[in-house]
Amino acid sequence: MQKITIITFYTLVILLFSSCEKDFEELAENPNNPEEVAPDLLMVNMIRSTANNMVNDAFSIGNVAAQYATEIREPNVDRYIWNSFGLWNDGYSTLRDVNNLYTIAGEREHDNYQGVALIWKTLIFSRLTDAYGDLPFSEALKGKSESVYFPSYDQQQAVYQGMIADLEEANNLLSVTGGSVSSDILYGGDIMKWKKFGNSLRLRLLLRQSNQVDPSAAMQALLADAERYPIFQSNEDQAIVDYTDSPNYFPLAGYRSGHFLDRRLSSTFADHLNTLQDPRVKVFAQPTVASREAAGSGTGELEWQGVPNGETDENLGSDIDRQVSQFGSIYYIDQQVAAPAEGLIMTYAEVAFTLAEAAQRGWINADAEEHYNNGIRASMEYYQGFSEETLLPDELYFQQEGVAFDEAQALELIGLQKWIALFFTDLQGWYEWRRTGLPELAPSIVNNNENRIPVRFNYPTDQQVTNQENYTEAVQRQGRDDINTPVWWDQP
C-alpha cells in the first residue's frame, strides 16, 4: 500500500510540475509577428491598397458620378442615395503605414523612402480632401507618436498648403544618387519617375485649387526649372499599377458578374464618344448584345449604346441587357482570364491637359493647342496597348468639329477631352467636373437629391462618435455635412 502511495504521488509530481517552462518574459513576446520591419516591406501593401481603392472607387462611384457609367440594377449612386463611402477609412488606414514608412526611413536616414512616403501621403490626402473637404491633416497620424487621438480638422486651404509643402520636401529628398528603393511595384525603384510623379501631382493640386489661389507663380516656378522639378514627359512616366494577369489581381476580377454588369455605359459618355467617333470606345466598352447579333447575321453594325443616368425603373426592364453596352473586357470577363486593365493613378494625358488649360488661361506661357493635342494622342496611345484594333486617331479625328482646337471654345474642348481621358481614373473625372462644370452633365432622371448632382461625400457617421467635437467644429465651419455642400476649392 505504502509503495503505491509513494509511486503515484511521485509520478504525479513529475507530471504536473517538472516540465521545463518558458518564463513570463518570454511568454509576453508575440511569436507570430515582428515588432520592427525594414522600409521596403511596407511598399507593396501601401501602393497596392491605394491603387485597389482607386480602381474600386472609380468603378462603383467615380464612373457613375461623372456619368461615364450608370447603374441599371442597384441605382444608389445614380439616385444620389450617397453616404460617406469607403474612401475615408481606406485612406487613413493606408496612411498608417505610409506614416510608418516615413518614420522608419527617417530613423534609417533613407531619404528616398521618405520622399516616396511623402508623395504617397499627398496622393491619399488629396483624394480624401477633394471628396470630403476639411479633414484632419496637421494633427493626423499622430496617435502613436504624439498621443493625438482625436485630431482636429484643418480647413481645406491649409490641407492644400500642407500637401504642396510635402511635395516640395519630397522633391528635395528624392535623389537618383540616394539609396535604392525596392519592392516598388509602381516604378521599380526608378527615383526619377517618382520625382516626376510628385511634381505632376503638384500641378494637379495647383490646378484644383485655382478658383481660390492663383496658380500662375507656382506653376511657372515649377515649369521653369525642369531639372529641379521634372514632370511627366510621356506615357512612360505615368503612375500606373500594372496588375499581374495570372492570377488576375485587377480588383474587379473577384466581382460577381451581377455587380460588374450593373454598371453600364452611360448615355452621356456613349453619346460623346459616338459623336466624335472616338476609337477608345472599343476598349472602354463592348458593343451591345443586340448589335452584335445583328452584325453577326449581317443585318446591322456594331453599336455602343448607353442608358441615361438615373433611368426610371420602368425603362430598366428585361431587354436592357441587350440594348446597352457593358464595359470592356479588360475590366472583367466572367470565367476567363483577360490581360487586365491597369490601376490608373495619374496619367501623362492629364498633365498635358492641365498644361493646356493653364496655357489657355494665361497662367503659364505655353501653347495650349499643342498640349491639348498631346493629351489626346497620349490617351489614345495608352489604350492602343489594350486593343488589337488600331485606335490611333487619323487626322480626321483632330480636324472634326468638337475636337479641332478652337480658341473660342478651348476650355470646353480641353474639358471634354480631359474628361474622356480621366475615365476610370479614381474620382478625378467627378472632381474636375465640380471644378469646371465640364462637360455639362444633367442630373439623374430619378434622384433623391432634388435634382442636384452631389458635390461632396458625407463624413463617415462614426466621426460623430469617435471625433465628435472636432467633427462638429468642422461642420459648423464648412457647412452642413451634406452631399450638396461645396468644398473650399469648389466655392465661387
Partner 1 sequence: MFDLLPARVKKKNTFLLTLFMFYLSTLLTVQAQSRALTGTVADTKGEAIPGVNVLVKGTTQGTITDIDGNYQLSVPETAKTLLFSFVGYKSIEREINGLSTIDVSMEVDATQLGEVVVTALGVERETKALGYAVQEVKGENLVQARETNIVNSLAGRVAGVNVTNGSGSIGGSSRIVIRGETSLTGDNQPLFVVDGIPITNSINGSSQSGQDIDYGNAASAINPDDIATISVLKGPNAAALYGSRAANGVILITTKSGKGTQGIGVSVNSTLTLESPLKLPDFQNEYGQGRGGVYNIGDGGRSWGPPLDGRPMAVPVNTEWPPAEGETVDWVPHPDNYQEFFETGKTLNNNISISGSNDQGNFRLSYTNLDQTGIVPNTDQTRNNVTLNAGYKLTDKLRANVSANYITTVSDNRPVMNYGNESIVYTWIWEGRQVRTDKMRDYWVKGQEGLQPFTYNYQFNDNPYYTVYENLNGLDRSRLIGNVMLTYQLSDAFSVMLRSGTDLLNERRDSRRTPGSSAYSFGMYRQDNNTFKERNSDFLLTYEKQVNPDIAIKISAGGNQMKQVREELSARANELNIPGIYNLGNSRVPLENIQYDSEYRINSLYAFGQFAFKEMIYLDLTARNDWSSTLPPDNNSYFYPSVSLSTILTDLLNVPSSSPLSFAKLRAGWAQVGNDTDPYHLRNVYYYGTPWDGNATVYESSTIANADLVPELINTFELGTDLRFLNNRVGLDLTYYDIRSKNQILSIPIDLTSAYTSRSLNAGEIRNHGWEVMLSASPLANPKGLTWDINVNWSSNRSKVLELAEGIETYELPSRYVSVQARVGEQMGDMYGIGFQRDPEGNIIHSNGIPQFTDELIKVGNYNPDWMAGIYNTLRFKGLSLGVLFDIRKGGDIYSRFLVRGNEAGQLVESLPGREDGYVGEGVMLTEEGNYVPNDVNVTAERYWGSGYFNPEQATFDASYVKLRELKLGYTLPNRLVSNTPFRHINFSLVGRNLFLWSDVPHIDPDTNALNGGTILPGIEDMSLPSVRSYGFNLGFTL
DSSP 59: I
CB of 464 to partner 1, least distance (A): 6
User: Contact at 8 Å (CB) between 459 and 471?
Assistant: yes
* DSSP secondary structure letters along 114-162: HHHHHHHHHHHHHHHHHHHSSB--SSTT-HHHH---SPPPBPHHHHHHH
User: Contact at 8 Å (CB) between 77 and 86?
Assistant: no
Query: According to CB under 8 A, which one of 52, 53, 84, 99 is a site residue for partner 1?
Result: 99
Q: Which residue has the cell 430619378?
A: 446
Residue closer to partner 1 (CB basis): 149 or 406: 149
Pairwise CA distance, residues 120 & 117, whole Å: 5
Query: According to CB under 8 A, which one of 58, 66, 95, 487 is a site residue for partner 1?
Result: 95
Residue 168 phi/psi, 5-degree rounding, is: -65, -45
Residue closer to partner 1 (CB basis): 137 or 431: 137
Query: According to CB under 8 A, which one of 140, 218, 416, 420 is a site residue for partner 1?
Result: 140
Residues in contact with partner 1, counted by CB under 8 A, come to a total of: 95
Query: According to CB under 8 A, which one of 10, 107, 108, 144 is a site residue for partner 1?
Result: 144
Residue closer to partner 1 (CB basis): 468 or 491: 468
Residue closer to partner 1 (CB basis): 89 or 365: 89
C-alpha R_g of the chain:
26
Tell me if 188 contacts partner 1 by CB under 8 A. Answer: no
CB of 57 to partner 1, least distance (A): 17
Pairwise CA distance, residues 449 & 454, whole Å: 8
Tell me if 25 contacts partner 1 by CB under 8 A. Answer: yes
Tell me if 20 contacts partner 1 by CB under 8 A. Answer: no
Amino acid at 231: I
Chain centroid to Cα 458, Å, comes to: 18
Tell me if 478 contacts partner 1 by CB under 8 A. Answer: no
Tell me if 27 contacts partner 1 by CB under 8 A. Answer: yes
Cα pseudo-dihedral 156, 159, 163, 164, rounded to 10? 70
Tell me if 33 contacts partner 1 by CB under 8 A. Answer: yes
Stretch in the footprint of partner 1 (CB under 8 A) among 2-10, 196-204, 213-221, 300-308: 2-10
Binding to partner 1 in span 432-451, by CB under 8 A: 446, 448, 450
Residue closer to partner 1 (CB basis): 77 or 422: 77
Which helix (H) or strand (E) covers residue 295, if one does?
A: helix 289-296
Residue closer to partner 1 (CB basis): 258 or 362: 258
